[in-house]
Each structure stands twice: as structure tokens, then as C-alpha cells.
Amino acid sequence: MRKISISTPFITLGQLLKYIGIVSCGGEIKTLLEEKQVKINGILENRRGRKLYSGDEVVIDNEKIVIFNENQWKRGEK
């Protein structure tokens, strides 16, 4: 399981895929979402603009990625 810290209220699925290095450019995202199963909180997702918030879990190729907002965790919120 990977934990990805964000400092903004959300990150889009496309931004996340680029940030963690699964794709190198935006043009690859659509193809990836068509060819691979990407689940967010257990639900299949194919929208690259899908907003991910603190606490969301993304599963790609059996790799689990958890999003958290560093500012919320510092204040003890979830």
C-alpha cells in the first residue's frame, strides 16, 4: 500500500496517475483507463477527472494507493 500526501483539498485521478509515474503524459491516461481496471473505494472508475479526496482508496493492478491530506492529519481530522 502506498500513501500519497496532498496539500490541496483534492487531486484528480489523471493528476494522481502522472504523479505516481504510471503514465508520463495526459494522453496516456485515457488509454490506461480503457485497458486496466481502476477502482476507487471499490467502484470501477474510468473518468480521468474524477476528484480524489483524503481517505479515498485507489486500486490499480492490485496496488492500493491511499490519499491523505497532510494538513488534515496534522489537525487530527480524517
Q: Could you state, in order of their start, the residue ranges of all structural domains in the chain?
A: 2-75
pLDDT in tens, 38-64: 999 999 999 999 999 999 999 998 999
Average pLDDT, the chain: 89
pTM across the whole model: 0.85
Question: What distances in angstroms separate CA 54 from CA 8, 12, 26, 70, one per listed residue?
Answer: 9, 12, 23, 9
CATH architecture designation of domain 2-75: Roll (3.10)
Q: How far apart are CA 78 and CA 69, in angstroms?
A: 8
Residue 25 pLDDT class (50, 70, 90 cuts): confident
